[in-house]
Structure 1
């Protein structure tokens, strides 16, 4: 009895099964690679300080801002149209001695006495990676300078977290339009909670 047709049918079935598995694997591989790329977090360093931070998913490092003091800025990625939203703006900076006055409580007290602001959340003590910090949320009117020389006013919400490390005061903050505050609250929390010091 000739058994070749039976074997041929069996081999053909295996071949089809292998092709199907390869096809499925080809579909899954790009999705997995893309997922890993999206979820992979990068570390950013605050120049001339021992501070580093993990960039939260959905934010990018903004290198277009220059300051004379240690500071790093983060923004949303570019839109499909090619432009980048100015707000929300996230940043971490080391305050100079004139700004910090060497005392977080004094700095917060000065801010709360500012008549041009309204407090959303009273200053409260929290812990950032083992370090004591003070969290403060307020709203203030900001004046924008337009390219045509005119000025515009808008209320902005500021979420600031102050902490001290080796006699230096740092602030991790978000500046955003009030109506979008809740939408991006988790971003500032992720950013500030990932702060660490190398020494």
Structure 2
């Protein structure tokens, strides 16, 4: 039960940010819809093996999680005293990894505020240091629900984008003002439009 309910708000928030990013970047959404239409022609039923082969969908979700990681920071405790570059870190020291800041560091991500899924393309993703991108944490204590959450996000996006497009409206807040809480969320509700697709 914890596995399912702990992922409810985090996954729904991630889907909200993803829809927002697609509404603001219609060229990315169009390219994603082309991949969806070619993978599941005629709004066909979605199956797991094909869903997992969708490279652009994977890149789009990864880039959205880079810009809006639901956990703003990770915390770890040193299990033993260790020295790194002359700095002694005593056993029991609590570390904080600031994901929001790290995911938007221009030294790690050129033009970090831009939504560019190509950063995570098959050609580029091997050049990314895995410890500079950690929306689900890393190592043996990473998020136990990561794969489940990603499959749910992929399935929801494909089902919606087969029939609708996201678009900005008069009430869309650009840029978003964030709330300061434990988990990342906008201060006010996300407002975008769902537009029925007329292209097929």
- Name the structure with the higher strand share: 1
Which one has a bigger Cα radius of gyration?
A: 1
**What is the TM-score with the length of structure 2 in the denominator?**
0.21
TM-score of the aligned structures, taking structure 1 as reference length: 0.21
Q: State the structure with bigger RCO (CA 8 A, min sep 6), 1 or 2.
A: 2
